[in-house]
Structure 1
Amino acid sequence: MALSEFSLQYVPQKAIKGQALADFFAQHPSPYGFGGNDVEIGMVETHDNYWTMYFDGSHTSSLAGVGIVIQSPNHDRWYFSLKLDFECTNNQVEYEALIIGLGILHDLWATCAFILGDSELVINQLNGSFLCMSCTLTPYNMVTIYLAESFDGITFEHISRIHNTDVDELAQIASGAQLLKGKPG
C-alpha cells in the first residue's frame, strides 16, 4: 500500500537457483584491485566518501523478499523492495539482500561502505566472530566476501530490528507478509 503511488514493475530474477553463483561471477567481474584497508566507524552516519546501506530479508511460507536502503555520502536515499522467485531459508534471504545491495553500491561506484543489518548471524560471519559452517550459506558468504574485497573500506555492523524498520517493511512488502498499521503482523 505504501508504494502504490509509484509506478513499479516487477521483474523476476532470471537466474536458476543452482546457476545463480555462476551468473553472478559472470556479470560482475572485479575491475578493482583488492586492498585490505578496512575502516571502522563507530556511528551510524556517513563520513566523507562513505555510503551507508541498510538491508533485510523476509521469508514467508510461500515467498521471500528483500529490502534495501542506500544512502549516499551527501545523504540522498534510494529504497529497494524486491521479490525473490526461488525458495530460500531465512538466512539465505538475508544474504541475498546483502549481496544485491553490495551489487548496487558497486554499480554506483561506491568505494567505501558502512553496512547495517539486523541479522546477527550474517553480520558476525562476515566480521569473523562466527564461522560459516552451513553448506547452504557458504556460497552466499563467499560471494559477499568477494564483493566486500572490491571496496577500499567496508564495515559490517549489527543493529537491532527496531533501528532497521524501513528495510524490514520493504522486505515484508516484497514477501507478501501482512502489515498492520506499518508493523509486521
Structure 2
Amino acid sequence: MFNRATTPTPPEQGKIWSLFADGASSSEGSGAGLRLVNPGGHEFTYAIKLDFKSTNNEVEYEAFLAGLRIAKKLGVKHLEARVDSMLIAGQINGNYDAKNDVMASYLSQAKDLICQFSSFKVVHIRRSENKSADALSKLG
C-alpha cells in the first residue's frame, strides 16, 4: 500500500472503490480501458483512444493515470487499483525501479495523484481477471 508520510487510518469496510485499468498498443493504435466500481457495485466504464505512438508500458501507465484522475474527479477517497501490469504494480509498491526518464516521469505523476487519496493500494492481478478493462482498451 502506498501511503503518505503518515499512515492514514484504514477506511471503513465498504467505502473502497476498485479501479481496473489496462492499456493496449498495436500497429492500429493505442487505447486505454477502465472500470471504476463504487462500494455499492455500480460500474463506470471508459474506453479511451490515445493519439500518439507509445510502448505497451507507456499505454499501461496512461490507462492507470487516467483511472486515477477520473477517480479523483468523482470524489473517491479510498481506492484499490487492480492492474495486470507487473511493472506498474512493482514500481508503485517500490519493488521495481523506473529505469528510464519516461518511466520515471510516469511513476512521478502516479505518486502525485496517489497522494491525493486518503488511502490507496495497488494489486497485481492476472490478465484473466482484467478481461473487461482489456476489452475496453481495444475499443479505444
Structure 2 length-normalised TM: 0.91
Count residues in correspondence. Answer: 137
Does the C-alpha gap of structure 1 residues 40 and 61 become closer, same or farther in structure 2, counting only changes over 3 Å?
A: farther
Q: Distance in 2 between matches of 1:40 and 1:119?
A: 25
Structure 1 match to 2:7: 37
Structure 1: 5+ residue stretches without partners: 1-33, 175-185
Per the alignment, residue 111 of structure 1 pairs with 77
After the TM superposition, list the runs of 4 or more consecutive aligned residues in structure 1 that deviate by more than 4 angstroms.
38-41
Separation (CA, whole Å) in 1 of partners of 2:52 and 2:21: 19
Alignment of 1:13-162 (within 5 A): 36-37=6-7, 47-162=13-128
1:62 shift after superposition: 3.6
Larger RCO, structure (CA 8 Å, separation 6 or more)? 2
> C-alpha distance in 2, partners of 1:96/1:36?
28
Aligned with 1:137: secondary structure? helix
SS of residue in 2 equivalent to 1:136: helix
Q: What letter matches 1:81 in structure 2?
A: A
Two-structure CA RMSD over aligned residues (Å): 1.9
Q: Percent identity?
A: 28
Residues 75-127 of structure 1 show CA distances to partners (whole Å, capped at 9, x for unaligned) of: 11011001000111110100000100000000011111000000001110000
Q: Distance in 1 between matches of 2:9 and 2:128?
A: 25
Aligned pair in 2 of structure 1 residues 35, 71: CA closer, same or farther (>3 Å)?
Answer: farther
Q: Distance in 2 between matches of 1:136 and 1:153?
A: 26
Q: Unmatched 5+ residue regions in structure 2?
A: none
Provide Cα deviations, 1:142-173, integer angstroms capped at 9, x if missing partner.
00000000111000000000000000011012
Answer with 1 or 2: which has the greater Rg.
Answer: 1
| TM-score after normalising by structure 1 | 0.70
> How far apart, CA to CA, are the structure 1 residues paired with 2:25 and 2:10?
31
Cα displacement (A) at 1:35: 6.2
* C-alpha contact 1:68 1:80 (8 A) present in aligned 2: yes
